[in-house]
Structures are given as structure tokens and as C-alpha cells.
Structure 1
Amino acid sequence: MKTRLIVSVSLAGLLATACGGPRAFTRGTYEDPNTIEMLSDQFNENDLQLIAKKMVNSLAASPRFSQPGGPQLPVVLVGRLKNKTSEHIDMASLGDKIQTGLAQTGRFALLDKAAREDLAEEYEYQQSGYVRPDSAKGPGEQASADYLLTGELASIIQQVGNDKLVYYKMTVKLNNVRTGIVEWTDEKEIRKKFERKPISW
């Protein structure tokens, strides 16, 4: 009798878990990554895309860089993009998005900050004797950055009653490495409004 009771209780627990417990996402479809959807009041991929697009277009259209300046492209290093908001935001992805956009304009040569350690390791290997000396590469021949791109993302959140306003401002600057002069700067503002609706049972 006790064994039958234990089995019954176990089955009831399994059924309750299956009916009311958390469910896994088992079916999905591909979506256009450019489709704007706001499932929460957090920073999302649409915000990232809007910021990157604005900065790339603005820099490429600026008087300093809108016309080809000869066979030597300006060399740009995408530096630190600071997150001054209270959210966890992948600023490296934003930097990669801006870097990719600048490269696709054909007006800039880009240096990859993250690849420098890998390059240093590769130099050591090529100088180790495993590579033909006449084809081995070594330090001292890398291109240097003409410009350093930096930026800062800030936010202001206002909430009154059921209304919530989320404001983001991304400011990006392009500094001349030789002189320290800011050759270009721009900002992108994003303002979103959310309304909390009562839950109906």
C-alpha cells in the first residue's frame, strides 16, 4: 500500500511539472535582424544597430573624410567604448559593428586591437626557426593608427506611475593620434517610452 502511494504521488508530481512548470523553447523561426521589436525596456540589438549606422554614416560623410585622400587610406583603431549606463551592455559588439561598417565604406583602413596579442604570438612562432627565414614576418612593420575612435554610452531613466521613459545617448569621437585633436565627433540619441499594463486574470 505504501509503495502504491509513493508511485501515485510521484506520478502526480510529474504531471504537475509537465502541465504547469517551465517549458523549453522548442520551435523557432528566422527573423530579419533589422526588424524593430522591443520585448523589454533594456538596451537591445536594434539600439546597437541604430547607433552603429549613425556613426558610420556620419563619419564617412564628414568633410574631413568624405573625399578620397589619395592612395593611403586613413588608419583607424576602434578603441574603448565606455558603458556609463546601469545595464550590462556588450560594448565590444558595438565596436565590432562600427568597425565593420567603416571597413565596408572603403574609405578607411582598420586596425584590430584585439588581434594584437595574437599577432605578437605569431611573430614569436615565425621567428622560432619553424618558418623559412626569407618568408618569416617579425615585429616592426605594422601600420600605426592615424586616428583613435572612442566613445561613451549614457542613459537617463524616468518612471512615473505606469509610464517609463528610457533615454540613451552615444557620443563618439575620432582623435588624431599625432596631435590629439578631435577631428570628428557625433552623437546618437534614442528615446523609448513604455507603458505598464495591468495583468488581467
Structure 2
Amino acid sequence: MKHHRIILMMMIIGIASFLTSCASTPKIKRIDVDKIIDISGRWNDTDSRLVAEDMIRDCLKQPFLESFKSKKHRMPTLIVGFIKNRSHEHINIQTFVKDLERALINSGQVQFVASKGERAQIREERLDMARHASEDTMKGPGEEVGADFMLIGVINTIRDEASGKAVMYYQVNLELIAMANNIKVWVGEKKIKKLIKKPGLSW
């Protein structure tokens, strides 16, 4: 009898463990990457993409672009410099930078050069080519295209909360600066305001 009780107890424990593991298994559903989803109210992929697209669209509508094309008879070449995160949150600035780059390149109105880190990697590859590649395929130094303008910016936030409610205010400021003379040819600003209602809200 005692032996049967032990077996029964082990079966009960096994079933309980199985049910617990099933209950704790996360449910995963794949969704469209362009679908807007706000869970925490913090800066997310949608904010990054929409802000980048809106600000670049505004930038490329400004007079400097046509003025440059008429004087130089070519598209301007741009590079993205430092985008600073001065918000309350950890924001993946690199993702935002890539969204800016994509919006610029896809506009078809400007050329875009590699970043400082990317250029270092490419230059290292050129040195390797000089040692190992054939002359007709080797890429030599001194043929790089310099940027005409640099895009820099900053992300700031203001946070206000009370009684389970919070307002998150984001302000993104971008500036396009001429490399030749440091003249700012465009200054853009984008604001986002989110009202978040959550019991026991804690940031």
C-alpha cells in the first residue's frame, strides 16, 4: 500500500510539473513589422521610423537642396554624425540612425557616404586588396567621395506622472550642417506626446 502511495504521489507531482511548465510557456505570435504597437509607452521602433521619415521628408523640401543642385550640378552627399540621447530612457540610437539613413537613401535626392566606423573597415579591406587582389580589380586610395553636409541631433524627454497616469514628451532636434563652412542649412524638430494610464505606474 505504501508503495502505491509513493507511485501515486510521484504521478501527481509529475502532472503538476507538466501543467506548470505548460502554463509558463510563452505564447508567441508573429505580426507585421509595420504594425503600430505601444505596450509600455516608451520610445519604440514605430517612433524611430516615423520620426526619421517625417524629419527627412521635411529636410529635403527645404531650399538648400535645389540651391546646391543648381550650383554644383549634382546631388549633395550626406553623412549622419552624432545623435545624442539625453532622454530618461535607454534609446537605441543606432536603430534611429539607420532609419535616418534609409529615409535619406530611399528619397533618391541625395547621396550617402559611409560612417566613420564603416570607412575604417572599408579602408582596411582596401589595404588587404593592395596585397592580394589583382590590379584590374583592386581599389586604390584617394577615390572616396567627401560629404557636403552632416546631420547631427539630440533626443530629449520630459516626464510627468501622478496617480497611475504619466505623460511622456519626446523632442527630437536635427540639424544639417555644411561641411565646407559650418553653416546650418536646416534645423528640424519633431515632438511626440504620449498619455499612459497604468495602475501602479512606476518608471
TM-score relative to the length of structure 1:
0.86
2:182 paired residue number: 180
Whole-Å separation in 1 of the counterparts to 2:135 and 2:21: 66
1:36 paired residue number: 36
1:46 paired residue number: 46
1:117 paired residue number: 120
In the alignment, which of 10, 13, 20 is matched to residue 10 of structure 1?
Answer: 13
Q: Which amino acid aligns with 1:30?
A: I
Whole-Å separation in 2 of the counterparts to 1:100 and 1:11: 53
Q: Secondary structure at the match of 1:121?
A: helix
In the alignment, which of 190, 193, 200 is matched to residue 191 of structure 1?
Answer: 193
Q: Which amino acid aligns with 2:99?
A: K
In the alignment, which of 146, 151, 154 is matched to residue 152 of structure 1?
Answer: 154
2:87 paired residue number: 85
Q: Which amino acid aligns with 1:117?
A: A
Instruction: Tell me how far 1:138 sits from its aligned partner.
Output: 2.0
Q: Secondary structure at the match of 1:64?
A: helix
Q: Secondary structure at the match of 1:79?
A: strand
| Matched length | 194
Q: Secondary structure at the match of 2:27?
A: coil
In the TM superposition, 1:162-177 aligns within 5 A as: 162-177=164-179
- Mark the runs of 5 or more structure 2 residues left unpaired by the alignment: none
Is 1:73 matched up with 2:75?
Answer: yes
Q: Which amino acid aligns with 2:105?
A: A
2:26 paired residue number: 24
Answer with 107-116 or 153-162: which moved more: 107-116
Answer with 167-176 or 114-123: which moved more: 114-123
Q: Secondary structure at the match of 1:164?
A: strand
Tell me which protein shows more helix as a share of its residues. Answer: 2
Whole-Å separation in 2 of the counterparts to 1:29 and 1:116: 36
List per-residue Cα deviations over 1:141-189 (Å, max 9, x = no partner).
1111111111100111100112210000000011111211211111100
Q: Which amino acid aligns with 2:44?
A: N
Amino-acid identity (%): 23
Q: CA RMSD in A?
A: 2.2
1:98 paired residue number: 100
Contact 1:60/1:66, CA 8 A, preserved across alignment: no
Answer with 148-157 or 114-123: which moved more: 114-123
List per-residue Cα deviations over 1:55-81 (Å, max 9, x = no partner).
111111011114643542211111111
CA distance 1:137–1:14, change in 2 (3 Å)? same
1:142 paired residue number: 144
Q: Which amino acid aligns with 2:51?
A: I
List per-residue Cα deviations over 1:82-107 (Å, max 9, x = no partner).
11112221111111111111112222
Q: Secondary structure at the match of 1:120?
A: helix
